Each structure stands twice: as C-alpha cells, then as structure tokens.
Structure 1
C-alpha cells in the first residue's frame, strides 16, 4: 500500500522560552458535513503527537451553528477505534465581539479573530476603535501582517466601512503595501459600497462619475462624505 498524504488547514506549535514544544494544535475550518473527517482528523493529531512527542489538540471552526451541532453529536460516540477525538468546536457565536480598548491592547490576536468572526454583522463597526488600538500595540512588523489578515478576512461591505473609519475618524495612514494597493484601485468602489450599505440610492450618472475618477484626493474626500451624506449628489457636488 502507498500511504496517502493529508494536509490540515493549519497547525500551531506552542513552545516554552527555550523553544521546547509544550502543546500542538491542529486547526480545521469545516463548512459542511463530512463523515470521513472523523478518520482523517485522527491522522493529523496522531502525526503531530508522534513526530513532536507532545500532546495535540484538535480545534475546529464551523461558520454555521448547525454544522457545529452535527459534529458535536457525531464525534463523542467515536465507535470502537482506540483514538477518540475530543475536538474544541466553536462558531462565530462563541467568540465575543471585542470593543474594549484595554482588552484589545492586552490581546490583539483575539480582537482580530473577533472582527473576522463578526464581519458579516453591522455591529462589527463598534469594534473598529479597539481593532485600531490592537494593531498599534503589536509593533510595525506585526501590524502589517495583522492588517493584511483583517483586510483579507472582512466581507466587502465591512471592509469599505473600515476603510472609511480609518481615513476619516482615525485619520490613519495605510501601512500595509497590500492595503495601499487595493485602496488606490478601489476607492471608487469603497464610496459606492458605503452608500449602498447605508441605503443611499446612487443614480447611474453619479455612479459613473465616481468610478471614472482617478484622483485619490478627490476619492478620499468623497469617501468621507459618503459616511454621512443624505444623498449621492451630496457626495460628488462641489
């Protein structure tokens, strides 16, 4: 028999100050039901424990609560196998929305995870100040990495509202090269997304004017106006 190769979504190794392994974790994202996972997940755990000689936890993130309930029912009755899986299964509802600034400074990674889990909810906007402080607290090198994670993970509407917050309320300079490039290309889209999210109708002529504009200063001005404007015309009128 030729062994197959399996790849987990992610693996993390926790070490002491001397770089000696203390604990490992297999990280999986599960969006649907898959009976085969109760066997392949054992391979991930067993491989790490055998290779690193360290206890290994299995952590499963299920975006949908129904999927999480299904796996919780499935895995405790694991059958006659000698390797029982006891994963830590969590959903966005199990992650608190972090809005406290002091808590954000103390645990930046939790704030980033919280924002990503609640990105589809309008309430995520209340976490933007805490997220800003979390990024500032980790130092320039990590800040760029965290910023790119947030940028990639937030849905389009939430990302546009965050762009508006960073350029208006926070007056924040984009430090991530990826974020700067996307912002330069898509400021026009951001203006339209903010208006659409707020329920402000955009006539076709105004939409074309916004998308045709290539002046970054003008687009940033329109983006600031889009946050509070009553009509689309109020955004682009001189």
Structure 2
C-alpha cells in the first residue's frame, strides 16, 4: 500500500505511466505519446557501497525513446541537485537513452526552487546543466469538473495531490469523487488510495476526502475504501464527542476559555473525551473536567 504523500507523488507514475502524457501537456511540452512504457528498477547503486536510488524510473519506447526519473520533493534540499545530476548522468551512461527528470512538489516555493537550472562546472563554463521538469501547484491544472476528471483520472488525482493546500481543494476532491462514481472498483481503489495518501500534508483535505469516500463512494467494499471510511468514521466520532463536551459546558452556563476549547477539540483519544464528557455534566467549572483524568488544567 501507498503509505505517505511522498510515495503517492511518484508511485502514481508507476501505476499510471501514461500520466506523464497529461503532465507534459499541462507543461506545454512537445512530448509524443509512447507506444509502450516499462517500469525499470529504481536502484542506481554503484559497485562502491554508496546507495543511490531514484524514486520512480520509467522507460518510454516509441518514436523518441526516453527515460523518465520521477522524484517527489517536499522541501528545499541543497544536496538534491548533485544527486539528481548524478542520476541523469548514470542513467544516460547505463541505458544510452536520453533521460528526463520530473520533480513533483506540493508547495510553490519548493517547486520554484526545484525548477531552477543548476550549472555544473566553473562559473565561466558549465560543463553540464541540470534542468528538471517540475510539476506542482503552480502549473498543474485545477480540475473541478467531474467530466474533465473522468477523462483522465490519474491526472485528476495528481491535481488533487499537488493542490492539497489550495483553497479550491474542496472542488477538486468533489469532482474526483463524482468522477469515480460508476467506475469499476479495480480502477477506483488505487485512485482512492493515492488521493488519501497524497493529501497527507493537509489534514483538512484528508478529512474531506475520507468523508467523500464514506458517502459518495460508499458502494465500494474493498479493504482500501473500508479502511479510509473507518478512519473517517473514527475522526467524526472524535469531533462529535468534542462538540458534545463544549455544548454541555455552554448549556450549563459555564465559562469556556479558548485554551480549554482548544484542548478539547485537539484531543483525539476517544476514551479521554468520554471521560471529559462525563465530568462536564457535574464539574463546577470547565477547567475541572480534566481533574479526574490524571491531568491538571
């Protein structure tokens, strides 16, 4: 299973190699769709005991064969350009095929940093220049039309992942959810999983997606869908318990300071919330709901 937003950002290209066609179109590249695509080993380790591993590596065979190395990048890292330059040089030497580097980011600052050409050599002569392609919130399409999402589910998923922090993420996720209705489960399940994991940087977006899966896509019964729904139900129960505690305190006319309110709404322990709810019924002040929980307010 995909278990992090980092994995989702690059592994989606392994699952849907044709996604690069949509990405290249969004980037305005004259990329010719290949006749076939091969997922290659990602281990670029040399004989020396220094491991170098690219996130995802694909070979596109067609009119103009290329190698595509996909890297997921969550933050600026001054060591990355030298690693990326090594990857491209190694791939060209090993496969004798033009290599291309695509860096996928979820924030504009990292994306703009990654897109900067890096000259390698003396300042007066660049023997090599690293020039990555970058897909991020600054150039990936914002897909809020279910028909557009349905036409390219993989690109719609990448749109959701790269725009996880975008104010329009609600519309993107609702469009993707609507597009998945009626899609065979075998097709929908990976999309549901990649989206859930790829949104990891944005808790609010992740909660919205789990709610959409629980309601709009409730007819899917796979373990992935059920797991996401279970997470959504658990979070909903915690949120309801926190709201109940505050409602009881306010109904009793007790003053509820902001720090108490934040402590209650920030708790994700159902048992502790249940205990606080019991205390809220009789506690003489909002602060004292915590006294029997082994904590000080």
Q: Compute the TM-score of the two structures, normalised by the length of structure 1.
A: 0.68
Q: Distance in 2 between matches of 1:176 and 1:120?
A: 28
Residue matched to 1:10: 56
2:192 to 147, 152, 157: 147
Are residue 158 (structure 1) and residue 199 (structure 2) matched?
A: no
Give the direction of change, closer, same or farther, for the CA distance of 1:62–1:129 in structure 2 (3 Å limit).
closer
Give the one of 219, 222, 230 matched to 1:184.
Answer: 230
Encode CA deviations 1:11-40: one digit per residue, 9 max, x unaligned.
222234xxx992221112233333332221
The change in CA–CA distance for 1:137 and 1:86 in structure 2 (over 3 A counts) is farther
Q: Distance in 2 between matches of 1:136 and 1:48?
A: 41
Paired position in structure 1 for 2:172: 127
Residue 78, structure 1, aligned to residue 125, structure 2:
no
Partner of 1:96: 141
RMSD: 3.4
- Kindly provide the CA deviation profile for residues 13-71 of structure 1, in whole angstroms up to 9, marking residues without a partner as x: 2234xxx9922211122333333322211221123233333221111133333333334
- Tell me how far 1:77 sits from its aligned partner: 3.2
Give the CA deviation at 1:112: 0.1
Aligned to 2:244: 203
- Return the alpha-carbon distance in structure 1 between the equivalents of residues 210 and 48 of structure 2: 50
The structure with higher relative contact order (CA 8 Å, sep 6+) is: 2
Query: Contact conserved, 2:105 with 2:162, CA < 8 A, in 1?
Result: no
Decide whether the 8 Å contact of 2:211 with 2:232 is kept in 1.
no
Distance 1:138 1:14 in 2: 27
Deviates more, 1:28-37 or 1:143-152: 28-37
Superposed CA offset, 1:84-126 (max 9, x none): 2111123322212101222212211110011112223342121
How far, CA to CA, are the matches of 1:124 and 1:191 in structure 2? 24
Using the TM superposition, give the Cα deviation of residue 130 of structure 1 relative to its aligned residue in structure 2, in angstroms.
2.6
Contact 1:28 1:59 in 2 (8 A): yes
Instruction: Tell me if 1:37 matches 2:80.
Output: yes
For the pair 1:87 / 2:132, whether they are aligned, the reply is yes
